[in-house]
A = this chain, B = another copy of it.
């Protein structure tokens, strides 16, 4: 069908082009009678307004509040931030802006405090990385009540569905990690290691917990006799890492394969490089600079990636699509489970 022009609608309704334009864009200055007449014709013609033109013409401003785990520059969440900023820039013609705030992932109350500060700001939309469901729930209850759309990134909280979720299927990701690691292990299937970062029993991420569940399930099924050691490094006492690794490796001289489910494989990778250990194959997550450097140097065999910048970008895009361009938004958006080695890392798409 040929596109219906505003001119034609105006002629049919017996009003001016300006009046039709006002009705379509929801602006004032139109008599009730004209509005009804124009709307009826729009409906009959199944008129699809050009939402770009419509949004560009509007002067409404949109403010999105983003809440992420506290992190240092160059850590995993910096990539998510980059995607958020790029999206705000992309949608700048539509008067979109954002704020970033942070919570301590090892302290659940910190999430609640940050969430309350966001509610005070009365944003048009919210994007955040959920903490445990019981601490996420009161926040989203408030958002729902105020009719503020929100986006989950990193991990989903199925009990309280968001407008959209962007993240990996962490359980399946753990299964994939186990398959690749054990393939690389060749004959060395007697024992493997899991390296964690923990603060007072808190892993600090829903994702990491579920990856380990998937990993252990694959191992139980395919390598039931493989012994799985775990080393818990302190999340807030990095200065102890070296000694703990030293002790761990010297206590397990036959260990040749290991994995981290957080983004800090470089802690082990750099240790291996420094000690000149070349018979240990390490699998890790996420393309932090220090991880990638270990991958290139050979102390990390595999990195599994999950497009963090795209998660941030698409989260903001979903808010803009929903609120501004009135497009339908897909609710569950599972990110790819990407395998990187030193041979293909240079060609990986990173937003």
Contact = CB atoms under 8 A, between A and B. Distances in A.
A338 interface: yes
A184 interface: yes
Nearest to A339: B339
Interface stretch (A48-56, A232-240, A287-295): A48-56
A53 B56 contact: yes
Contacts of A173: 344
A201 interface: no
Nearest to A57: B53
A285 interface: no
Contacts of A184: 183
Interface in A331-350: 334-339, 341, 343-344, 346-349
Contacts of A180: 341
Task: Identify which of A50, A93, A338 gathers the most chain B CB atoms within 10 Å of its CB.
Answer: A338
A336 B184 CA distance: 22
A175 B175 CA distance: 26
21 contacts: A50-B56, A50-B93, A53-B53, A169-B347, A172-B343, A172-B344, A173-B344, A175-B343, A176-B343, A179-B341, A179-B343, A183-B183, A186-B186, A186-B187, A187-B187, A336-B344, A336-B349, A337-B344, A338-B338, A339-B339, A339-B344
A168 interface: yes
Nearest to A310: B349
Most buried by B among A169, A173, A343, A346: A343
Interface in A118-169: 168-169
Contact of A334 (B336, B339, B343, B347): B347
Interface residues on A, range: 20 to 34
Contacts of A334: 347
Nearest to A333: B349
A338 B343 CA distance: 11
Given A173-B344, A176-B343, A339-B344, 8 more contacts: A52-B93, A53-B53, A53-B56, A179-B343, A183-B184, A336-B344, A336-B349, A339-B339
Contacts of A348: 336
Interface string A170-203: 0011011001100110110000000000000000
A187 B50 CA distance: 61
A305 to B, nearest CB: 10
Nearest to A53: B56
A346 B168 CA distance: 11
A347 B343 contact: no
Contacts of A344: 172-173, 176, 336-339
Contacts of A187: 186-187
A334 B346 CA distance: 9
Contacts of A337: 343-344, 347
Contact of A347 (B336, B346, B347): B336
Nearest to A348: B336
Contacts of A176: 341, 343-344
